[in-house]
Amino acid sequence: MPRVSAGVSLITGLGALVVIAVSIPTLVGGVLGVCLLAAGFFRQSRLLVDGGGAAFVGGLMFAGLAGMAPSLVLIAAVLTVIAWDVGRTALGIAAEVSDPSATIRIELVHAVSSIVVFTAGATIGYAVFVRTLGQGSVWALAALLAGAFALLIALGS
């Protein structure tokens, strides 16, 4: 199992767990997510890693509903997505490349680029969010979201 990717995934997962651990449901979601991620690496199972990601999403949902500050929820979400994405990459590397060959280089490149992309995405998202809500226009945000989704699905493959 590629150690760098698995390590990055578990560390960011733990980070997300710490950020959202404000109530019992969020704590359960986070702990379950970390456990499933670890089990997924141990068993080399994509299903378990995906389950870990889903548990984290559940935790995020409860955190949001519990009225957690949007910026904290966003940070937890970024950490979750990094944990899941890097974890999936670790499984892909384990399946395609056998253990003895050195995989640290591509693992590091992917982990760093994944962190950069998701952090940048979150920053842009947060900027749009603050700008629209700062003007008190939930309608604008809703319209923009709906438009973006429709365009994504329509232009998708």
Q: 11 or 129: whose CB is closer to other proteins?
A: 129
- In single-letter form, the type of residue at position 55 comes to A
CB of 22 to other proteins, least distance (A): 12
Per-residue tokens: 102:
């050195």
Which among 23, 24, 31, 93 has a CA at the least distance from the CA of 56? 31
Among 8-16, 21-29, 30-38, 56-64, which window interacts with other proteins (CB under 8 A)? 56-64
For other proteins, the binding residues in 67-96 under the rule CB under 8 A are 67-70, 73-74, 77-78, 81, 85, 88-89, 92-93, 95-96
Closest CB 36 distance from other proteins, rounded Å: 15
Residue 23 gets which letter from DSSP? S
Structural tokens at position 151: 């365009």
**Stretch of 8-16, 21-29, 36-44, 100-108 lying at the interface with other proteins (CB under 8 A):** 100-108
Instruction: State in angstroms the smallest separation of the CB of 39 from other proteins.
Output: 19
Return the C-alpha torsion angle 127, 16, 62, 58, nearest 10.
110
Residue 24 or 67 having the CB closest to other proteins = 67
Q: Minimal distance in Å, beta carbon 121 to other proteins? A: 4
- What span, in angstroms and rounded, lies between the C-alpha atoms of 114 and 126? 18
Near other proteins in 4-43, by CB under 8 A: none
CA distance linking residue 136 with residue 139, whole number of Å: 9
Helix axes 70-96, 46-65, angle to 10 degrees: 180
The full DSSP string for 43-68 is HT-HHHHHHHHHHHHHHHHHHHHTT-
Q: How far is the CB of 129 from other proteins (least distance, A)?
A: 5
126 binds other proteins (CB under 8 A): yes
